[in-house]
Amino acid sequence: MNALSPEPTFNCAAVILAAGFARRFGSDKRQWSMPDGRTLLESTLARYQDGFGSVFLVLRPEDSEWVRGLGGCTKVFAADAHLGMGHSLAAGIAAARDFDGVFIALGDMPWVEASTLEELRRRLNDRGAIVRPFHDGTPGHPVGFGQAHFGALMKLSGDEGAKVVLDQNRQRIVAIDVADVGVIRDLDVPPSSDLSA
């Protein structure tokens, strides 16, 4: 490569997991109304659309009707979503497998700051790397995986999620300390106060 050639671009996508059943919440929290009138899932989707050129939204097959209005993303309907998060995650990675890296995000975490996403994307520049944000020592989301880990992620099943892949590759994890509490803030039960805080 000569000196005038541009640096190669590390092409990343976001995969938002939104196929869960939110049993603790008591209703479909994805459609919970936020203070600005958008649903929780719409807010999360908008955040990642601003930060990534390609966004894959993982859903349940029965969601096909009510998500028609959600644009600007590739919808992935995970046939085995009812069997656990591992199946949803595997389906999302399979859909995005042509990218150099993928950030796994959760559909109930719309409060991650744009600057945090930019920093995480910048730090995932190796197909063998894993990038994870930490807030005050607590691991958060989204977690970025280079393409070298896609094979293991696509084999996930049940409720194991990505933890098994993280545990097997501790030495590859690049920990990013952030002041952004949004990386650990989610919505597990109906809120009793203003969600915009």
Quote the pTM value: 0.88
As assigned by CATH, the class of the 12-183 domain is alpha beta
Per-residue pLDDT of the chain (197 residues; tens, 9 = 90+): 444 544 458 999 999 999 976 656 656 788 888 888 899 999 999 999 999 999 999 999 999 888 888 999 999 999 999 899 999 999 999 999 999 999 999 999 999 999 999 999 999 999 999 999 999 999 999 999 999 999 999 999 988 789 999 999 999 999 999 999 999 998 765 555 444 44
Helices (H), the chain: 40-51, 85-95, 114-123, 150-153, 163-168
Q: How far from 121 is each of 20, 115, 166, 194, CA to CA, in Å?
A: 26, 10, 18, 30
CA distance 105 to 11: 17
